[in-house]
A and B are shown apart, each in its own frame.
Chain A
Amino acid sequence: MDFPQNMSMEEAFALAEAEAKLKQVLKESTVRFENAVIPNRLNEDWRFGRPHKHAVALAELLQSDTPSQGEATVQHAGDAAVPVTSEDDDLRQTEMLMPTIGSDALLGMHLKRFGSGYALYIEEDTKEPILLTYKTDTLYTPSTFIMLAPGVKAHVIEQHYGNEKGTIFATRNIQVAEGAELKVELQPYGCARCMVITNIQNMGGKVVHYTHHFACDWAREETVAEIYTPGADNQLFSANNLICNQVLDQHTRQIHHVGGATSNLLYKNVVDDTATGIFAGNIYVAPCAHNTDAYQSNRNMLLSEKATIHSLPGLEILADKVRCSHGSASAPMDEEQLFYLLSRGIPRDEALALVSHGFLQDVVDKFERS
């Protein structure tokens, strides 16, 4: 290992120790992937809405020799965007260290196809949103890395197109430096299967994250939003309209490693027909993370008797002086709201559409205002 010349003994020692630790962690994470089992019904994080069926099918697809094949495009990124290649060991390591919520085995399989997607090293404010798209009609496993330099303001939109038969399994690593502000949207469209593992590492900036799934048969999101520096602010939003037999399985962790920071989550679904919505969220506040503000709210509107919702909000608070709350509500459409619209002469079908659309639009409004 080469040390910079002006480095003191102590610094060199610390650096060597850090490198050794990283090696150990990487070794352990290899073990982690080797030991991980494909999710089954007994797995706490894969319990509801029969998602394990999809997990098994996804695992089978990933274990087969189907190559990762797809098209990645990026617009309005200037020179910030660099294609991810299988030779990029730093990025591969970053992905190896990603936390999952029950999907270590699947992440391990994702790593075997590592080498597609984009890394965005954003050092200047974006004038228009950077638009990333991933498209496939077979199997595609891109990785996205977004790194925001201190004080920079950026907006990134990531779209996945599965062309009805395609499976997209994407990972996303988002790192935001002090004083930086990132708005980031994830929009999967029309995938047969869609799986996204996201890790947000906030070092004292602001991250406003919004996901909106459209016409995917099965979609699973694992989002771990971590705070490492006081003053950081993570805002997580999601709004989805689930119809037919769709399953949306969302898992979140809001992790406060340090105090004096904020995280906020608002996930809303309108669930119709025989669709299923699953939300399992957790707020973790580390023992020393005093003066944390953390909120989590999952709200669902059920439009059909055959629609299903599983909502499991959770808190794990090990510090004092925190302001935390979690809430979950699943209910049919609010009769008073509907009546109000009807009483102004708006026909029933349209009133239903306005109220259910408004229920989700509320999230979009909050995202846009954040």
Chain B
Amino acid sequence: MSLIIKDLSARVKDGAQILNGINLEIPKGEVHAIMGPNGSGKSTLSKVLCGHPDYEVTGGSAELDGQDLLAMSVDERSRAGLFLAFQYPVEVPGVTNANFMRAALQARMPKGETVDAVDFYKTMRNKMAALGMDTKFTARAVNEGFSGGEKKRNDILQMMMLEPSYAILDETDSGLDVDALRIVSDGVNAMRAPFRSFLVITHYKRLLDYIKPDVVHVLYKGRIVRTAGYEMVEHIEKNGFDFLKSEE
């Protein structure tokens, strides 16, 4: 069981080609990291996997536990177990965090069953407490007026509520203060399990010191150009991406 991406290419609809044949296999239970310079296509890859309408797949395939991911609608992909914590979480005015999460959980219930409100609020409050979030955030509109760090935490809260089998974290560390970084990483580590994998996108070693990856990939100009172990993180932290110049 794994997420298998083969020769995946994509472009902005009616625009530039961004992904140029991505190959990636993430088995269940593993944590993979993706690093790479700004603009190399990391966020695009994660959004293409979720089915963002801005992009058009121009070739290749993606399989989630043997199912054709690219044939599914955006919401089906989520219910099939894929989750993306966004680099820039979106504000949704007028929809409370609680209603949002309840609708997402309801969509996962068998026909004819409804989410139990008492259990739901209890679970949500516990997870918020674990993330150091004030419970008043349940009644606030999704991400509206949240600080940068609060938005990131809110996305992680959603991940903890939805318990996906494949979670992509796109620069979740950016905007988090030192304590929040530790709290969020603890939350992620607590979710590590043989039936779940993570794809962690980041620019910094400090996150990967908390969430130790099994494999590290380097994405450059829309392709995976290196796949290595943790030593790659240290190399990039010390020397930057100069070594990629040979890829020109």
Q: Which residues of A contact B (CB under 8 A)?
A: 335-337, 339-348, 350-351, 354-355, 357-365
Contacts and interface: CB of A to CB of B under 8 A. Distances in A.
A361 B107 contact: no
Contacts of A347: 75, 107
A362 B100 contact: no
Contact of B141 (A340, A351, A365): A365
B235 interface: no
Contacts of A357: 94-95
B53 A343 contact: no
A343 to B, nearest CB: 5
A365 B94 contact: yes
By secondary structure, the A interface counts as: helix
Interface in B95-123: 95, 99-101, 103-104, 107-108
Interface residues of B, number: 31
Contact of B92 (A335, A340, A345, A364): A340
Contacts of A363: 94
Contacts of B53: 335, 339
B169 interface: no
B41 to A, nearest CB: 18
30 contacts: A335-B53, A337-B92, A339-B90, A341-B92, A341-B103, A342-B74, A343-B74, A343-B84, A344-B75, A344-B78, A344-B104, A344-B162, A345-B78, A346-B103, A346-B104, A347-B75, A348-B75, A350-B103, A351-B75, A354-B95, A354-B99, A354-B103, A357-B95, A358-B93, A358-B94, A358-B141, A360-B94, A361-B95, A363-B94, A365-B141
Q: Which 6 A-B pairs have the closest CB atoms?
A: A358-B94, A361-B94, A345-B78, A362-B94, A358-B95, A342-B74
B100 A336 contact: no
Contact of A344 (B52, B73, B91, B158): B158
Nearest to B79: A345
Nearest to A350: B103
A341 B90 CA distance: 9
A335 B75 CA distance: 14
B73 A342 contact: yes
Contacts of A341: 92, 95, 100, 103-104
A345 B101 CA distance: 10
Nearest to B144: A362
A336 B86 CA distance: 11
